[in-house]
A and B are shown apart, each in its own frame.
Chain A
């Protein structure tokens, strides 16, 4: 039997980067931009945070850190890094109308390389023996949970044991759902993604909406990278450790049919599947089973993609103009 009280917090921790990525990609896709650069953006978000934290830790080696700066500097660096990625993507696909798939894939390759390059440089700079950078002082600020959480037994463990970024992820997802459904901004954004020509004729500035949605989406996704390093991995950056979570986040978007609220549940489910192999007892004789269990999230993703493609209710379809650049004078 799986120990739920131990398993659920691990699953949630695992799910938060996915949730950030998923919410960011939903907001982006609602504007009609299929940003396959999200995995790269999450790497950039992570490494920029690491750079900021590293610089601040170096500067305060002797004096001690100020809480607000220890959190604020990496957070700001991460946001700026992913914002720049978003601007690059928009400039290429919206202003220059380049192919979105090619641009996105190139950005993922670039983002992963960017992360590993600067990660490698920092590891050299810090002169550590292992190929990692440990930012445990910064991480302590990021992963600090409510002081009384420890006193509340299983309830505290399951619901209150996370750093502030985890709650931020859920708040952002809830707000994104509300924004898309209930506000005029959300209505306009949906219109831009569904039918930009109509939105344009109605006086909505399609370019501004696409830029804003994509850049904000990238910033949200970048926080996923930051959370992974600073909270989940306890401040330890090693190259390629973030893995393919970015792709899972994109698959999640389809799984939760472009609804950020559903994305919260879906990402926790995926987070659980991602680590379930650690909790299924396999015994020492059958190590190969563990490798099979590691496949579960990807198998589920494949199944989910097949199932969701068969749905034909119009409300559950992707935004109609997803992946198509908009040009007013095009016929």
Chain B
């Protein structure tokens, strides 16, 4: 993992080298003027003008649905603007397809990687290029790019064998291979560990020093502060303002983004009378190939407490939560549910239905958001019914789910054109609110939640954190799996760190150190763990 570490000075020089000195040229590498894009009645971008200089990292900020991705999609050729002009190096251009964008030197690294699993890194990199196929030559060129920017990637490795960080590297190499000068990164750190994110930042600084322009979309404010030179804020599709990063702070940026002053503190009340609720003993889970996904894991989750689970993606969090919810085949071990009066039931052999009746609620937001928990083609009330469809003798009850749907929509300010709209047509953040809202509405004794704020903007995220905190105060045992380590540290009362399916540490939330937890995520008792998904 560490073979790619660059000397520490490199980062420093990158930061000082360009951040404070005058830009080599003040002219914009790409400039947008009066860009408007409508989808039917909805105005996604309204008269947006902005520019990115050469050798600059620009952070694009905005809440969900503020039009950041739409704007970037217009630059990268996926959409075509209804009005407005795009200039590259001062010349007006028309970008009507991703191919146009690439030939103008614009590349985008999407949030969900656009890679073909069964192809190798090289094959993915040359995909879509014209001319005769010469993989040897391409491989040499890839190695050259890797040396230049400090990537480590095996060109002949198949993508399905790669971890997230490697896949992202391939994505970046892919755009650099095409000679890109303007690089757009859509939430690049969402799936990375702090260490991997650091490494990405160093690469980004190198590219900037190379004269390239970078645009980064991220919801993590401390990253904006750390990496960007300038910040542009969008709200409801409109350009709100911009500032130099060093002249601003996170609070100011957030206020501008949301349009009013917001408090960014997560309240962490001391747990009241915590009692063991879920006791896990020596749990082992194998995947379909017989490889352990969870190995000899033991811990206790207590009522009135949030237990955070930290770990890089694919280290077994998903399997662990699914095991508690009764959705995983368990190799060995016990999962005890402890009643208020102290009686213990082993959940291992119970059906998911029985487990739900005990008051265990699972709210898992997978990467595609809809895979578990919601049915995309059904509307919000029908999705609420997935929890209550057994009520009623011959016919299902329809009124209550409908009421619940209305409450969730109102309380969590879900943006939807109407109750009868299929949930897959809602934006990602709103889909999540529906899911989390439903799970919380059942007043669970145990709330399992994974990636509840994945891809949500800062305002919606804090709404969700509030909801989770309320569950904790109401006496639920909350098990929280999250991607943003900073939030995890702020929210959790205790943090269980997983690494490669094993417990690598259990720390108290208050006073936990981010770097320490980050290192635990990478190794068990000081030993590096290489294998991961």
Contact = CB atoms under 8 A, between A and B. Distances in A.
B118 A314 contact: yes
A198 B114 contact: yes
B98 A190 contact: no
Contact of B127 (A202, A312, A315): A202
Contacts of B130: 184
B446 interface: no
B119 A199 contact: no
Given A184-B133, A203-B98, A195 B128 contact: no
B118 A202 contact: no
Contact of A195 (B97, B102, B117, B132): B117
Contact of A188 (B127, B132, B158, B288): B127
Interface string A174-215: 000000001110011011001101111111100000000000
Interface in B91-149: 97-99, 102, 110, 114-119, 123, 126-133
Contacts of A197: 114
B225 interface: no
Contact of B116 (A184, A190, A203): A190
B118 A199 contact: no
B131 A203 contact: no
Interface in B238-256: none
A219 B128 CA distance: 26
Given A187-B119, A194-B119, A314-B160, A201 B133 contact: no
Interface residues of A, number: 24
Interface string A316-331: 0100100000001001
Contacts of A200: 98
Interface residues of B, number: 26
A312 B128 CA distance: 28
A195 B123 contact: no
A139 to B, nearest CB: 41
Contacts of B289: 312
A331 B98 contact: no
B133 A195 contact: no
B430 to A, nearest CB: 13
A194 B116 contact: yes
Nearest to B39: A329
B158 A201 contact: no
A184 B117 contact: no
Contact of A182 (B102, B129, B133, B160): B133
B98 A195 contact: no
Residue among A182, A184, A312, A314 facing the most chain B CB atoms (10 A cut-off) = A184
Nearest to A182: B133
Contacts of B158: 314-315
A293 B424 CA distance: 52
Given A183-B133, A188-B128, A314-B158, A203 B117 contact: no
Nearest to B101: A203
Q: Which of B115, B131, B288, B424 has the most CB of A within 10 A?
A: B115
Given A184-B131, A184-B133, A312-B288, A203 B118 contact: no
Interface centre among A194, A198, A200, A201 (most CB of B within 10 A): A201
A199 B99 CA distance: 11
Contacts, number: 67
Given A182-B133, A183-B133, A187-B127, A201 B98 contact: yes
Given A203-B102, A203-B128, A312-B288, A195 B110 contact: no
Contacts of A204: 127-128
A199 B117 contact: no
A121 B129 CA distance: 51
Interface in A104-140: none
Contacts of B118: 190, 194, 314-315, 317, 320
B110 A201 contact: yes
A313 to B, nearest CB: 10
B213 to A, nearest CB: 20
Contact of A203 (B99, B110, B160, B288): B99
B127 A199 contact: yes
Contacts of A198: 114-116, 127
A182 B133 CA distance: 7
Nearest to B424: A331
A204 to B, nearest CB: 5
A195 B116 contact: yes
A200 B101 CA distance: 13
Given A202-B98, A203-B98, A312-B288, A195 B424 contact: no
A184 B123 CA distance: 9
B415 to A, nearest CB: 16
A202 B119 contact: no
Contacts of B97: 203
Contacts of B117: 194-195, 314, 320
A194 to B, nearest CB: 5
Interface in B67-103: 78, 97-99, 102
Candidate in A191, A198, A317 with the most chain B CB atoms within 10 angstroms: A198
A312 B289 CA distance: 9
A305 B123 CA distance: 30
A104 B265 CA distance: 58
A325 B402 CA distance: 33
A205 to B, nearest CB: 9
Contacts of A191: 116, 119, 127-128
A182 B135 CA distance: 9
Nearest to A195: B116
Contacts of A331: 424
Contact of B133 (A187, A194, A203, A314): A187
Contact of B128 (A182, A190, A199, A314): A199
Nearest to B112: A197
Name the residue in B118, B132, B160 with the highest tally of chain A Cβ atoms < 10 Å from its Cβ: B118
A190 to B, nearest CB: 7
Of A195, A202, A312, A331, most B-chain CB atoms within 10 Å: A202
A187 B116 CA distance: 10
Nearest to B288: A312
Given A194-B119, A201-B98, A312-B288, A184 B114 contact: no
A320 B160 CA distance: 12
Interface string A203-233: 1100000000000000000000000000000
A183 B115 CA distance: 19
A259 B131 CA distance: 24
A202 to B, nearest CB: 3
Nearest to B174: A202
A191 B116 CA distance: 6
Contacts of A201: 78, 98, 110, 114
Contacts of B127: 187-188, 191, 198-199, 202, 204
B115 A187 contact: no
A197 B78 CA distance: 11
Contacts of A202: 98, 114, 127-128
A194 B158 CA distance: 14
A232 to B, nearest CB: 36
Interface of B: 78, 97-99, 102, 110, 114-119, 123, 126-133, 158, 160, 288-289, 424
8 contacts: A188-B128, A190-B116, A195-B116, A195-B117, A203-B97, A312-B289, A314-B118, A328-B78
Given A203-B128, A204-B128, 12 more contacts: A184-B130, A184-B132, A190-B119, A194-B118, A194-B119, A198-B127, A199-B116, A202-B128, A203-B97, A315-B118, A317-B118, A331-B424
5 tightest A-B contacts by CB?
A: A202-B128, A203-B99, A198-B114, A184-B133, A203-B128
